[in-house]
Structure 1
Amino acid sequence: MGTMTGKVALVTGAARGMGRAHAVKLASEGADVVALDVCAEFDTTDYPGATTDDLAETVRLVQEQGGRILASQTDVRDPDAVTAAVADGVERFGRLDVVVANAGIIRVSDTDERAKTFRDVVEVNLIGAWNTVDAAIPAMIAGGRGGSIVLVSSTQGIRAAGTERAGVQGYAASKRALVALMQVWADQLAGHSIRVNTIHPSGVATDMILNETTMKLSAAGDPWLSSQLNALPIALLQPEQIATAVAWLVSDDAAFITGTSWPLDAGFTLRS
């Protein structure tokens, strides 16, 4: 029996990358999964967006683990859509125990659309996380069984490197703000035995980094990218490594942990 047997987990940004890894890992531990992803392009990012085919592959991989999954094309920026998706998940599976607010975007390259880029990043990374957790809290409280919420922040939410790029500024600001939200919710929900924590990965091998634009900047010795080096000789973490850590953090083995920020960063923050 897995650590998540009988529990239900909501994962956003679940079509690929870390979101997919979280969904699959939690399913492997016995969870039923409610998977959300916008499956759309953002004209202010510099890499392709996830697709409905990507989300379908997440469904397949979860089912391959023997898990049940309810997946929907849902934009976390739309609070009504997120609330409806959470309600559908609770109706299908009868409960909600875990939230992994993972959906996020960035733009690493320069752009003339500075204000729009900053706003888009903040709306997905911060407002989207707020929409997700705000929609989930009533169901988790009503369940009366406690639970766990993980906000996926970043090392940029601990130590942000200087840059003039609006997309990176929005990313750092939104990821840092998640820490404040985590602390507010952790205190608010402790009496209900609902735990709230942030995780702070350094670079992870997903499409957010492994794309043509970012690779070209890296090859050219881009100063901001060059500042993102880990202390350990690990260039990029793997999504599955992050998912394994999160699966432990949301399990009953970590029932005493709340209000904390976890660097999952191969020593990146040692360099601060």
Structure 2
Amino acid sequence: MSNQSSEMNNQASTERQVAIVTGASRGIGAAIAQRLAADGYAVIVNYAGGAREAAQVVAAIEGQGGRAAAVQADVADPAAVRTLFDAAIERFGRVDVLVNNAGILPPALPHVADTDDATFDRLFAVNVKGTFNGLREAATRMAHGGRIVNFSTSVVGLALPGYAVYAATKAAVETMTNILAKELRGKGITVNAIAPGPTATDLFLTGKTDEQVERLAKMAPLERLGQPEDIAEAVAFLVRPGSWVNGQTLRANGGIV
């Protein structure tokens, strides 16, 4: 019986599914990485500059008996994203889930007329090109039956002044999501997007006054900010095997729009 148990454990280890979560050193990404690890995935914790924070996420996962590794990569760099997938396959043997969570939101939100070229270019480089780089790799290297979750924003629906360029990057992500789902016909891979509303992360809170945060929190019928764990729960739903949801954008926002 002991030999049989050992063989079963080895088989389970070999067949453990593998998830890449970009921008996973803090905030929503860290919550997603820990939730997927709790669900049994081996997780690649991607980070751009937060090596210490990424190591802490890995330690938290391993402390709960999970498997994880931190891998640095700027998602805006195609070569870095290829290396990210290489690292996942070298470490864990495969890629079953890609969560394109990495993104930026400038602390200042100027109107279109006041937006400089550098802000525009950086937003599109990370939010659109960064997502595209991950999608292109996943389309050819992900295991059959894989799951891709991109990140949009509920601001696409809210259309708040000052968010024009940021929302435009995420509208592009929603379009790529829907079309790639169709392009991957026959591979059993689903492609969906999550569009969070106001969520209590450093990315959201930076640059906002207490009054602005309170006003945004009260906009949803549930009258609170989302928490990273709320978004992680939505991601966990979309990556479950056998999902019939494909090519969609799920607004996880407490009913704000």
Matched position secondary structure for 1:107: coil
Distance 2:245 2:109 in 1: 39
Question: Pairwise mapping of residues 24-35 of structure 1 onto structure 2 (< 5 A)?
Answer: 24-35=34-45
- The CA deviation string for residues 209-228 of structure 1, in whole angstroms up to 9 with x for no partner, is 233x21x2x53x59xx9567
2-structure distance, mates of 1:113, 1:259:
32
Query: How well do the aligned residues superpose, as a CA RMSD in angstroms?
Result: 2.1
Task: Please report the TM-score for the alignment, with normalisation by the length of structure 2.
Answer: 0.87
Q: Matched residue of 1:33: which SS?
A: strand
**Match of 1:132?**
134
Task: Decide whether aligned partners of structure 1 residues 150 and 245 sit closer, same or farther in structure 2, where only a CA change above 3 A counts.
Answer: same
1:79-99 superposed Cα distances (whole Å, 9 cap, x missing partner): 001101101111211111111
Q: Tell me what 1:43 maps to.
A: none
Q: Does the 8 Å contact 1:90/1:139 carry over to 2?
A: no
Match of 1:81 in 2: 80
**What is the identity, as a one-letter code, of the residue corresponding to 2:231?**
I
Post-superposition CA distance 1:157-213 (Å, at most 9, x none): 3332123xxxx32211111111100011100113100000111110111101233x2
Q: Which whole-Å CA distance do the structure 2 matches of 1:115 and 1:261 have between them?
A: 29
After superposition, residues 1-272 of structure 1 pair within 5 angstroms as 6-39=16-49, 51-109=50-108, 114-140=116-142, 143=143, 145-163=144-162, 168-211=163-206, 213-214=207-208, 216=209, 218-219=210-211, 226=215, 229-253=218-242, 255-269=243-257
State the TM-score, normalizing by the size of structure 1: 0.82
Deviation at 1:108, TM superposition (A): 3.9
Deviation larger for 229-238 or 107-116: 107-116
CA distance in 2, matches of 1:262, 1:113: 29
The alpha-carbon distance between structure 1 residues 134 and 229, as it changes in their structure 2 partners (threshold 3 A), is: farther
Name segments (4+ residues, structure 1) moved above 6 Å. Answer: none
The answer on whether the counterparts of 2:193 and 2:250 sit within 8 Å (CA) in structure 1 is yes
Counterparts of 1:95 and 1:136, CA distance in 2: 11
1:110–1:19 CA distance, 2 compared to 1 (3 A) = closer
Q: Distance in 2 between the 1:192 and 1:147 partners?
A: 8
Q: Which runs of 5+ in 2 are unaligned?
A: 1-14
Displacement of 1:113: 6.6
- Seen in structure 2, the aligned counterparts of structure 1 residues 72 and 63 have a Cα distance that, compared at 3 Å, is same
Identity of aligned residues (%): 36
Q: Is the 8 A contact 2:72 2:84 kept in 1?
A: no
Does structure 1 retain, via aligned residues, the 8 Å contact 2:47–2:74? yes
- 1:205 maps to a residue whose letter is A
CA distance in 1, matches of 2:216, 2:52: 34
Report the Cα offset of residue 257 of structure 1.
1.1
User: 1:41-68 CA distances to partner (integer Å, 9 max, x unpaired)?
Assistant: xxxxxxxxxx221111111112123221
Gaps of at least 5 residues in structure 1 are 40-50
CA contact (8 A) 1:14 1:35 kept: yes
